[in-house]
Amino acid sequence: MFENIKAVFFDMDGTIVYSMWMWKKIDIEFLGKHNIELPDNLQREIEGMSFSETAVYFKERFSLKESLEEIKKIWNNMAIDKYKNEVKLKKGVMPVLELLRDKGYKTGIATSNSMELALACIEANGIKKYFDAIVTGCDVGAGKPAPDIYLKNAEICNVLPKESLVFEDVVQGIEAGHNAGMKVCAVFDEYSVYIDEEKHRKADYYINDFNEVIKELRKAEI
């Protein structure tokens, strides 16, 4: 898994933190205030979109009167307390980050979330110090499955795409990593079980939790 790898990049929601439950609740509450029922296909439709792209999607699909900035501000306000107090790291994430730092790997976050919420989440969980790069979909030209967010991480960390390993929990993220020319490991998440078969098929590796990575990482040499 780590052969010829110099940098490791992580998606955030559903990959290193348990947070997808929260976004379903927020979508239900937000749309409910507009007397709109949550569509069954919504999550699949917006997977991989940046925070700003998702706001555009919501505004157009649901004919919302709020501006894009107003929509994003509402979402930030609805989510930030949950990120600070309720969203926790997945199993094995902390020891993996510690090992990566100790062994000299470069690390980055590639999230479709807003920077405000990403920072709130990683600061509350005490892991900001482990990352050399934090890039959101709003920082680059296009969200996942476009490669932009992972190529930006590689640029910041001064590594080649082929020297990079990506951890992702959804298909669009897996495709983004591959489109960037990187190896990709899919991560189990209960909120993406319905696409698990596709994740297995498209990723180079698959883990149920990050404790499986520790053994591989301990024997790896950068």
The string of pLDDT tens digits covering residues 71-95 is 999 999 999 999 999 999 999 999 9
- Using alpha carbons, select from 96, 105, 129, 113 the residue that is nearest to residue 215: 96
Whether residue 127 sits in one domain with residue 173: yes
For residues 59 and 131, what is the distance between their CA atoms, to the nearest angstrom?
Answer: 33
For residues 55 and 177, what is the distance between their CA atoms, to the nearest angstrom?
Answer: 23
> Which structural domain, as residue segments, surrounds residue 68?
20-85
For residue 43, the model assigns a pLDDT of 86
Of 85, 116, 134, which closes a domain?
Answer: 85
Of 39, 54, 85, which closes a domain?
Answer: 85
Alpha helices (runs of H) in 38-189, residue ranges in sequence order = 42-46, 51-61, 68-85, 93-103, 115-124, 148-157, 171-179
Whether residue 45 sits in one domain with residue 30: yes
For residue 44, the model assigns a pLDDT of 86
Whether residue 106 sits in one domain with residue 32: no
Q: What mean pLDDT is reported for the chain?
A: 96
For residue 219, the model assigns a pLDDT of 87
How many residues does the structure list for the chain? 222
Whether residue 112 sits in one domain with residue 209: yes
